[in-house]
Structure 1
Amino acid sequence: MELFAVPDLPEIREGEDLAAAIRDRVDLRPDDVVCVASTVVSKAEGRTFDLDDFPPSERARGIASRLEAISGEEKDPRFAQAVLEESDELLLEAPFLLTATRFGHVGVNAGIDRSNVPAGDLLLLPEDPTESAERIREGLPVDRVIVTDTCGRPFRHGQRGVAVGWAGMHASRDWRGETDRDGRELGVTVENVVDELAAAANLLAGEGDGGTPVVVVRDFEWGAHGGSDEHFRAVEGDFVRQALQGWEFDG
């Protein structure tokens, strides 16, 4: 398997044809997987907003005040309001905002980004990243597209690339019913392939000012395995999320 970044992409602005920008700069094969950072998808879809677009509610002011007291750093209640409006649920209000987005992704601050945008601006995640992946796929000569983001993980330090949307492929590769090298049947192994490819792509895309938000994965083979589109864990089976819903920060 080979991965390479698409070179020389311009600064993407609202309304631009992102698929055409990719297509014009790289020779793609039908079985390539194109991984696109959510930042450029959001810019093309007009998901850049000013802080003043989010007049703070009393709840947002209270959240910002509490976080300011905890961290000792100034917190803008307008940012807290943006997080509230982009979230389906707040799992934690302190010591940071851990949220569930409307499309199922759980992460800090509803995935709202303040990097690679002008000062005072906010970059929101795509409203439906899987629909975004499908639109990009329709404009490319490939079968598979993944929209990626970076976020932290429980029990791990630092951030990694993850998939927030995908098209043309299953999210997970199912090994259940197959056997290991000793002939034992696998009973629980379901491999989240879109996250693994997103993480690999993130090694090339980077986190700073490299300007390489699109990465092509070439010669990835799914193999003779089943698959499913289960990606975001359902609430009723997510025991960590259930525990968080009953937990209060004491500090």
Structure 2
Amino acid sequence: MYVNAVPGLPEIDAGDDLAALIEEHGDVHDGDVLCVASTVVSKAEGRAYALDDFPPSPRAREIAARLEEVTGDEKDPRFAQAVLEESMELAIEAPFLLTETRFGHVGVNAGIDRSNTGGADLLLLPERPSESAERIREGIDADVAVVVTDTCGRPFRHGQRGVAIGWAGISASRDWRGETDRDGHELAVTVESVVDELASAANLVTGEGDGGDPVVVVRDWAFGDHDGSDNLFRELDGDFVRQALREWEFDR
């Protein structure tokens, strides 16, 4: 499998045609998977904002004050307001904000970036990342799949890794249930999140900080003859961790 960053992409501004820029700077073939960092998708879609665009509500002030109390760090209630406006639910309110975004992704601070923002205070995630992925895919002359990626942490582990927040032209997962392992045992529960795995592979070569490349081409990888599903984000009735968090409160 070939995983390589597209070099030389310029700084992305609102209104830029990402698909055209990818084709101009990259070598894109039929069957490729394009992994595109959410930061450049957000910039192209005008999702950069100033903190003053989010006048804080009493709820945001309350959240910021609580976070300041438990962490000892100054917290801006305007940032808390931005998180509230981008979230369906706050799963954790202290010692940090763990939220469900409006498209189903659960992460810290609704995925709002304060780095690599292109000079703005805040860079919000794309509103509907799978629709963003489809627009990029439609703009590419080759027959490709597109995965919009982000980085976030994981429970029980240190560090961040790449995850998919949107996709088009590919199923989110492939289903191995009913197939057999090397010993002939039937697989009963294995459903592989391929878009997350592709996002993580891409993150290995995109880099971080000021030297990153936001688009990666994955080539010579095949989904295979498996059933696929677009179920990626757990529904609440099957998400026992999130159910437990609803009953938990940080005590300090």
User: TM-score category by the smaller chain?
Assistant: over 0.9
Q: Distance in 2 between matches of 1:242 and 1:21?
A: 43
2:208 corresponds in structure 1 to: 207
2:59 corresponds in structure 1 to: 59
Over the matched positions of the two proteins, sequence identity in percent amounts to: 74
Q: Distance in 2 between matches of 1:22 and 1:31?
A: 15
2:73 corresponds in structure 1 to: 73
Q: Distance in 1 between matches of 2:127 and 2:94?
A: 25
| Superposition deviation, residue 26 in structure 1 | 1.5
SS of the residue 2:25 aligns to? coil
User: Gapped runs of 5+ residues in structure 2?
Assistant: none
SS of the residue 1:157 aligns to? strand
Q: Does 1:171 align with 2:176?
A: no
SS of the residue 1:181 aligns to? coil
1:118-157 alignment, distance < 5 Å: 121-140=121-140, 141-157=142-158
Q: Distance in 2 between matches of 1:189 and 1:91?
A: 27
SS of the residue 2:211 aligns to? coil
Q: Distance in 2 between matches of 1:169 and 1:75?
A: 40
Amino acid at match of 2:66: R
Amino acid at match of 1:126: P
Amino acid at match of 1:113: D
The answer as to whether partners of 1:129 and 1:164 remain within 8 angstroms in 2 is yes
The answer as to whether partners of 2:48 and 2:120 remain within 8 angstroms in 1 is no
| Superposition deviation, residue 16 in structure 1 | 0.5
After superposition, the C-alpha distances for 1:169-194 in whole angstroms (9 at most, x for unaligned) are 10001000000111110000000000
| Superposition deviation, residue 119 in structure 1 | 5.6
Amino acid at match of 1:34: L
Q: Which moved more, 1:60-69 or 1:203-212?
A: 203-212
Q: TM-score, normalised by structure 2?
A: 0.98
| Superposition deviation, residue 70 in structure 1 | 1.1
The answer as to whether partners of 1:137 and 1:145 remain within 8 angstroms in 2 is yes
The answer as to whether partners of 1:100 and 1:106 remain within 8 angstroms in 2 is yes
After superposition, the C-alpha distances for 1:187-214 in whole angstroms (9 at most, x for unaligned) are 0000000000000100111221114000
| Superposition deviation, residue 22 in structure 1 | 0.4
| Superposition deviation, residue 120 in structure 1 | 5.7
User: How many positions carry a matched residue from both structures?
Assistant: 251
Q: Distance in 1 between matches of 2:143 and 2:97?
A: 37
1:90 corresponds in structure 2 to: 90
The answer as to whether partners of 1:172 and 1:228 remain within 8 angstroms in 2 is yes
Amino acid at match of 1:138: E
Amino acid at match of 1:133: A
The answer as to whether partners of 1:153 and 1:159 remain within 8 angstroms in 2 is yes
User: Gapped runs of 5+ residues in structure 1?
Assistant: none
After superposition, the C-alpha distances for 1:204-230 in whole angstroms (9 at most, x for unaligned) are 112211140000001001111111111
SS of the residue 2:79 aligns to? helix
The answer as to whether partners of 2:88 and 2:102 remain within 8 angstroms in 1 is yes
SS of the residue 1:209 aligns to? helix
Instruction: Identify if the C-alpha distance between structure 1 residues 209 and 148 changes in structure 2 by more than 3 Å, giving closer, same or farther.
Output: same
1:230-249 alignment, distance < 5 Å: 230-249=231-250
Q: Distance in 2 between matches of 1:8 and 1:163?
A: 23
Instruction: Identify if the C-alpha distance between structure 1 residues 120 and 63 changes in structure 2 by more than 3 Å, giving closer, same or farther.
Output: farther
SS of the residue 1:74 aligns to? coil
Q: Distance in 2 between matches of 1:153 and 1:124?
A: 20
SS of the residue 1:151 aligns to? strand
SS of the residue 1:19 aligns to? helix
| Superposition deviation, residue 66 in structure 1 | 0.9
Please report the RMSD computed on the Cα atoms of aligned residues, expressed in angstroms: 0.9
Q: Which moved more, 1:6-15 or 1:21-30?
A: 21-30
Amino acid at match of 1:210: G
Q: Distance in 2 between matches of 1:118 and 1:213?
A: 13
